[in-house]
């Protein structure tokens, strides 16, 4: 059952595979919560259909929930020779928040940590990073994908950023990644929205200068430039308030680069007000959701409700109304 040969050369199918493997983590955790075992378990078809096997489950030590999975592709070397694009040997996938008893408390706690720019202190991030480092040391970075949805995409993003610092640019799929900011993208009046974004950028740049963030960290811009060579795939629904702010972030950043020689735009692009205030109080904080570069795929189709706009299920549908754009930091 090697359906993966042609599938992995197609952008839609690569997206579908990544989303399905993330869904596999969700169902693994639901299997655990419902005590579904052996023939009653429902998770395995989500990876077996694409000829992957589950090789390891990442377990949160605080609530024993399953938050991540490591999959290996069962594909012989000879059958990869004619692939137009190299398939992954391993995929490390992270689920998002489950609002059901069993993991809800810990998931919501981590959602709050993300909003405070403190997710990098969580055990899930450290366990995920260690798992990825172990695989990279064995298989190299070129054959590994990262994937995540919602909270899981925030973890995958953190892991990917840290791997860049180690010299590895992992292919990364981030579905409905949360953006820790006021949802300015939901403002309907374009002039009001643009004015609000300019105000936020000026305030952010001013606060950064006031606490001397950039003079204390003269290498910050260099770090952002190094990170810009890594271009993860972001999948955003325009109707989802949790992730849609990425659309405004990238578009506004390009506009701000034309103002005052781009200085305000560059500072604002690398900092958030929350991270500046936290750093000013003596607590080192990095706005890890801010990205220099990304391939952004936007679902512009109508959604009935928040669950549909934010759900992982939308990303394996073949009939989506999608818009694609590459954003690169210069």
- pLDDT tens digits along 31-46: 999 999 999 999 999 9
End-to-end CA distance of the chain: 44
Task: Specify the residue for token string 């292919």.
Answer: 171
Answer whether 80's CB lies under 8 Å from 86's CB. yes
pTM for the complete prediction?
0.85
* pLDDT confidence bin for 144, thresholds 50/70/90: very high
**Could you tell me the pLDDT band of residue 187, with boundaries at 50, 70 and 90?**
low
CA distance linking residue 299 with residue 312, whole number of Å:
12
pLDDT digits (tens, 9 = 90+) for 157-178: 999 999 999 999 999 999 999 9
Instruction: Give the C-alpha separation, 155 to 68, whole Å.
Output: 10
- Tokens linked to 48: 């077996």
Architecture of the domain made up of 2-328: 3-Layer(aba) Sandwich (3.40)
Q: Cα–Cα–Cα angle for 212, 218, 224, nearest 5°?
A: 110
Q: Cβ–Cβ contacts within 10 Å for residue 200, how many?
A: 17
* CA separation, residue 179 to residues 159, 168, 184, 325 (Å): 16, 24, 11, 18
Residue 241 has, within 13 A of its CA and on its CB side, a CA count of 8
pLDDT tens sequence across 216-273: 455 556 777 888 899 999 999 999 999 999 998 888 787 766 665 566 556 656 665 5
The CA–CA distances, whole Å, from 42 to 54, 200, 259 equal 13, 46, 54
């Amino acid at each position: 059952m090697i359906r993966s040969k042609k599938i992995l050369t197609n952008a839609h199918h690569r997206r579908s595979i990544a989303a399905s493997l993330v869904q596999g983590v969700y169902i693994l955790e639901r299997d655990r919560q419902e005590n579904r075992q052996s023939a009653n378990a429902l998770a395995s078809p989500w990876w077996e259909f694409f000829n992957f096997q589950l090789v390891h489950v990442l377990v949160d030590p605080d609530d024993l929930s399953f938050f991540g999975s490591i999959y290996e592709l069962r594909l012989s070397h000879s059958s990869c020779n004619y692939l137009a694009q190299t398939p992954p040997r391993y995929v490390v996938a992270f689920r998002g928040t489950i609002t059901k008893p069993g993991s809800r408390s810990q998931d919501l706690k981590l959602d709050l940590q993300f909003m405070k720019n403190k997710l990098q202190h969580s055990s899930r991030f450290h366990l995920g990073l260690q798992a990825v480092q172990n695989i990279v040391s064995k298989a190299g970075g070129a054959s590994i994908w990262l994937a995540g949805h919602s909270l899981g995409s925030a973890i995958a993003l953190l892991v990917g950023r840290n791997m860049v610092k180690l010299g590895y640019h992992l292919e990364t799929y981030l579905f409905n990644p949360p953006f820790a900011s006021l949802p300015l993208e939901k403002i309907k009046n374009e002039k009001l929205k643009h004015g609000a974004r300019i105000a936020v950028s000026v305030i952010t740049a001013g606060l950064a200068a006031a606490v001397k963030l950039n003079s204390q960290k003269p290498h910050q811009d260099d770090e952002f430039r190094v990170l810009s060579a890594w271009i993860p795939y972001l999948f955003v629904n325009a109707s989802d308030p949790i992730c849609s702010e990425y659309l405004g972030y990238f578009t506004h950043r390009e506009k701000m680069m034309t103002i005052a020689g781009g200085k305000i735009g560059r500072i604002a692009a690398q900092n958030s007000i929350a991270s500046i205030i936290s750093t000013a109080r003596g607590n080192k904080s990095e706005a890890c959701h801010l990205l220099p570069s990304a391939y952004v795929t936007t679902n512009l189709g109508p959604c009935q409700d928040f669950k549909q706009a934010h759900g992982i299920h939308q990303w394996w549908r073949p009939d989506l109304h999608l818009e694609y754009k590459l954003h690169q930091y210069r």
